[in-house]
């Protein structure tokens, strides 16, 4: 093999090593993106898991002030998960059914190392008040709930935990949550209006 051909081979190998970790030139459009499409796109190298997760985090940052959907969100942790999955994909390709797919977990389910509040004021330290004697205690999960463990094993990226009514006892808008009500999407309100007028 000639010197020039050898150097070309080395250069191509270097590009192949770096490419899976290269960031997209433009943000990933996550609107109506499905898990199946994500798996296909990651396999094809259209974007990295890091870029995908960052796009979701950006969208959450834009809209969560209106919806109050999250009780816990850690961008740094989510991006660390994404980077680990990118390394796996770089080494072996996409091998798991939800590899790199961002998900959220209701705050009634245990996620190891995070508190589980179930929307209840007594399970949130912010409720504590030395003047009034109110006491709130963070309940930190030692292990993932079985469904969370299965999602992790399938390769999903956990973005955070989401709001719900206290102990999931009423409705769908978290009116009884310690963290305040969760606002419904426009589509949900429209669907309720249609059902009110007899449409199914």
Strand arrangement of the beta sheet that strand 157-162 belongs to: 70-73, 157-162, 102-106
Residue 197 structure tokens = 């007028």
Percentage of residues in the chain with pLDDT exceeding 70? 77
Q: Determine the Cα–Cα distance for residues 74 and 77; give it in Å rounded to an integer.
A: 5
- Range with the poorest average pLDDT among 53-67, 87-101, 161-175, 180-194: 180-194
Q: How far is CA 140 from the centre of its chain?
A: 19
pLDDT at 140 over 80: yes
Residue 78 in any domain: the answer is yes
Number of domains in the chain: 1
Q: Determine the Cα–Cα distance for residues 87 and 21; give it in Å rounded to an integer.
A: 8
Q: Which domain holds residue 188?
A: 33-108+142-196
Give 134's strand partners: 129
At residue 19, the pLDDT reads: 41
At residue 185, the pLDDT reads: 59
Q: How far apart are the first and last CA of the chain?
A: 70
Question: Region 170-181: what's the mean pLDDT?
Answer: 78
Higher pLDDT, 106 or 187: 106
Contact 118, 145 (CB under 8 A): no
Residue 168 in any domain: the answer is yes
Specify the 3-state DSSP secondary structure of 186: helix
Residue 102 structure tokens = 């961002």
Question: Region 145-161: what's the mean pLDDT?
Answer: 98
pLDDT at 188 over 70: no
Question: Which of 159, 154, 153 is CA-nearest to residue 53?
Answer: 159
Residue 24 in any domain: the answer is no
pLDDT at 123 over 80: yes
Residue 67 in any domain: the answer is yes
Instruction: Work out the number of other CB atoms within 10 angstroms of the CB of residue 86.
Output: 20
At residue 184, the pLDDT reads: 65
Residue 114 in any domain: the answer is no
Residue 56 in any domain: the answer is yes
At residue 183, the pLDDT reads: 75
pLDDT digits (tens, 9 = 90+) for 8-19: 333 333 333 334
Residue with tokens 């992790």: 152
Residue 115 in any domain: the answer is no
Report the C-alpha dihedral over residues 88, 91, 93, 94, rounded to 10 degrees.
-10
Higher pLDDT, 85 or 180: 85
Question: Region 42-65: what's the mean pLDDT?
Answer: 96
Write down the H helix ranges in 19-102: 35-43, 49-67, 75-92
At residue 30, the pLDDT reads: 94
Residue 38 in any domain: the answer is yes
């Amino acid at each position: 093999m000639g010197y020039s051909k050898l150097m070309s081979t080395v250069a191509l190998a270097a590009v192949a090593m770096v490419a899976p970790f290269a960031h997209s030139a433009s943000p990933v459009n996550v609107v109506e993106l499905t898990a199946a499409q994500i798996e296909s796109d990651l396999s094809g190298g259209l974007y990295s898991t890091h870029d995908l997760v960052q796009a979701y985090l950006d969208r959450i940052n834009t809209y969560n002030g209106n919806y109050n959907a999250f009780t816990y969100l850690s961008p740094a942790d989510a991006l660390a998960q994404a980077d680990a999955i990118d390394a796996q994909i770089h080494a072996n390709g996409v091998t798991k059914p939800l590899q790199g797919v961002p998900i959220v977990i209701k705050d009634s389910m245990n996620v190891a190392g995070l508190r589980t509040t179930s929307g209840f004021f007594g399970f949130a330290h912010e409720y504590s008040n030395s003047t009034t004697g109110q006491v709130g205690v963070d309940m930190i999960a030692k292990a993932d709930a079985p469904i969370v463990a299965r999602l992790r094993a399938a390769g999903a990226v956990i973005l955070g935990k989401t709001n719900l009514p206290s102990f999931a006892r009423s409705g769908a808008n978290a009116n009884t949550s310690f963290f305040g009500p969760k606002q419904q999407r426009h589509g949900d309100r429209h669907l309720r209006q249609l059902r009110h007028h007899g449409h199914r």
